[in-house]
Structure 1
Amino acid sequence: MEKKIKLIITDLDRTLLRTDKSISNYSLDVIRRCKEQGIYIAIATARSERAAANYIKLINPDIVISNGGALAKCKNEVIYKCMLSAQVSDSLIKDCVMSSNIGEITVETESGYYSNSEEINKFGEDYTHAKYNDYSKSLKCMTYKITVEVFESKAAEELASKYPQCSFLTYVGEDWCRFAHRDATKINAINEIVKYLNINLEEVAAFGDDINDLGMIKHCGQGIAVSNAIKEILECASHITGSNDEDGVAAYIRENFL
């Protein structure tokens, strides 16, 4: 018998968010009803807090897991933080700059978001605080993640082998990969969150679609995949709901938890 769910965690892009990046009023209403019934709501996203700010304002979650699990906060209280050291970050950035098979390099730090692209505005309003940096000088600060545009996958794989202290994630269908601390995962953040809330992992339901959701889908009490999820997520999920464009997250919550 499944335990009563006390915490619902959902990924944003391609999970709670529709393909056009919107959240339906139906989904927002279901989330509001969960909170009224005492169920904690968390979002777990690869986005930074800055890039997710508009959605955080709309959803008003109890907990935000950002940067793919590198940071977890309950309101303004930090529950979990896992960053790359300044030394590793600067060395990795230098190697990326020197590679002819790597183009754009973006870096997320506590103080800001940096890119070596001169077209920073292309990122849209989610990245209004982005700063141009050609990385000719070391940043000399810890980083949440370093995301690079790769022209050949071999180049990124060589970097990954050189930095075993980093996790290496390739985004599905995109020529981008992300480097972060190997312990900066959503499930590691969730393990600290359940301690903080004094609940069990079996009392957590997690929704996701992509490879960085795998840990929470496998290890939470209920791991629910949206139907548009990648094969690995669909195969390990305990349940499958409708797609992100069908408000699959909200539909499952309403049917099973409300």
Structure 2
Amino acid sequence: METKPFLIALDLDGTLLKDDKTISPDSKAIIQKAMAAGHIVCIATGRPFRSSSIYYDELQLTTPIVNFNGAFVHHPKNDEWGTYHKTLDLKVVKEIIETAEKHRIHNMLAEIIDDVYFHYHDEKLLDIFSMGNPNIKIGDLRVSLGDDVTSILIHADEDDVDKIRTYLSEVHAEIVDHRRWAAPWHVIEIIKAGINKAVGLQKIAAYYNIPSERIIAFGDEDNDLEMIQYAGHGVAMGNAIPELKAIASHVTKTNEENGIAVYLKEVLSL
């Protein structure tokens, strides 16, 4: 009897990737075994495509990918699949920049797919964001931005992060969603309201005609919450935040202990 395929969605940092940002040979072998058995594997990440494409290629994927936590969904191997790009209105972006300037911010940056705009020069952040060779511009965002943006990041003092987030919730709740990066970063990430990984994953599931009960999604952070709730098998990594473990249908081993491989091996009998 032919088994119906599952759609397997993989978060990258803290999930598929070990702490050294590599994919373990065990995880890779099991994922490739799953694909050989007819299951569909995709990546759903907060990263832009340029800094997730190396893992897409390493796993030899031929599926659409969810980037920027759902704000950008496309198919790297098939232009006809369509591109879903949900942006933040430039006017709102400029209002947020004006307000952020009143706090002790270290930097702000805006991303439009693979173009990165820095408010101030910043060696440390430049190093992180230069993966995949984006076009980088440095200078006052109120002047340099001429288009709606995919996401904004605000790097602030720890004490100011909550104040800025309170402002975003009070003034722009209808328009933006925001989250705080995991320690040690005091970074606020802002995207269009109502956008998350589950929204992107739904597009991919519809394309392959896979119901939510045959979706296995793995994650570890607060930007995985909606996706883990949406998937029939919402799997939290052993290293996941408590809130994610609380709503997940399963908890597997950590990203350092091949958690993805352990779960897939058992559930898909690989």
Partner of residue 178, structure 2: 168
Deviation at 1:125, TM superposition (A): 5.2
Gaps of 5+ in 2: none
Deviation at 1:87, TM superposition (A): 2.5
Which AA in structure 2 matches 1:131? I
Deviations 1:91-140 (A, max 9, x none): 323433x2232221121103511223422542265153251322250512
Pick from 155, 163, 171: which aligns with 1:154? Answer: 163
Q: Distance in 1 between matches of 2:129 and 2:98?
A: 27
The answer as to whether partners of 2:168 and 2:176 remain within 8 angstroms in 1 is: no
Q: Distance in 2 between matches of 1:203 and 1:210?
A: 22
- Please state if 1:192 is matched with 2:203: yes
Normalising by structure 1, report the TM-score: 0.91
Q: Distance in 2 between matches of 1:196 and 1:186?
A: 16
Partner of residue 256, structure 1: 267
Deviation at 1:155, TM superposition (A): 2.5
Partner of residue 13, structure 1: 13
Q: Distance in 2 between matches of 1:254 and 1:99?
A: 52
Gaps of 5+ in 1: none
The answer as to whether partners of 1:101 and 1:155 remain within 8 angstroms in 2 is: no
Partner of residue 91, structure 1: 95
Which AA in structure 2 matches 1:8? I
Structure 1 residue ranges, 4+ long, deviating more than 4 angstroms after superposition:
none
Q: Map 1:81-160; keep pairs closer than 5 Å.
A: 81-96=85-100, 98-118=101-121, 119=123, 121-123=126-128, 126=131, 128-134=133-139, 135-151=141-157, 152=160, 153-160=162-169
Deviation at 1:48, TM superposition (A): 0.4
Q: How many residues are treated as equivalent by the alignment? A: 255
Q: Distance in 1 between matches of 2:45 and 2:29?
A: 21
Cα distance 1:60–1:142, how it changes in 2: closer, same or farther (>3 A)? Answer: farther
Deviation at 1:144, TM superposition (A): 1.3
Measured on the aligned residues, the alpha-carbon RMSD in Å equals 2.0
